[in-house]
């Protein structure tokens, strides 16, 4: 049986705040403050090159990307993309089980 492409549903930050407000019985303002505090905590830790582990959910970390060859899409010219840091996420066991 052939199935069509899966429908992609996005959860925006506003939707997440609404969900937190409903689940935790908070006002939207309080839920917004809580979500923003959590996200800024993760961001600040990653800026300091620290790992953030949320047990049962996953681990946020900074990954080092090596210098690599690339191509300018406009001209086709070969270029070297510099080494850089990038945020990474590894899902936890509980999260993996939940989405299977």
For residue 93, pLDDT over 80 is answered with: yes
For residue 70, pLDDT over 50 is answered with: yes
Average pLDDT of the chain to the nearest whole number: 92
pTM of the predicted protein model: 0.77
The model's confidence at residue 1, banded by pLDDT at 50, 70 and 90, is very low
pLDDT for the residue numbered 9: 81
The model's confidence at residue 7, banded by pLDDT at 50, 70 and 90, is confident
Instruction: Write down how long the chain is.
Output: 100
More confidently predicted of 1 and 56: 56
**Which residues make Cβ contacts (< 8 Å) with residue 21, sequence separation at least 6?**
27, 28, 30, 31
Select from 76, 50, 72 the least CA-distant residue to 62. 50
Alpha-carbon separation of residue 63 from 26, 31, 46, 66 (angstroms): 35, 30, 10, 10
């Amino acid at each position: 049986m052939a199935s069509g492409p899966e429908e992609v549903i996005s959860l925006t930050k506003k939707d997440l705040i609404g969900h937190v407000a409903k689940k935790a019985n908070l006002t939207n303002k309080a839920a917004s403050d809580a979500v923003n505090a959590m996200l800024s905590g993760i961001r600040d830790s990653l800026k300091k090159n620290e790992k953030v582990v949320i047990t049962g959910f996953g681990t946020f970390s900074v990954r080092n990307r090596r210098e690599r060859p690339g191509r300018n899409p406009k001209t086709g010219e070969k270029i070297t993309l510099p080494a850089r840091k990038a945020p990474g996420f590894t899902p936890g066991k509980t999260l993996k089980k939940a989405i299977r």
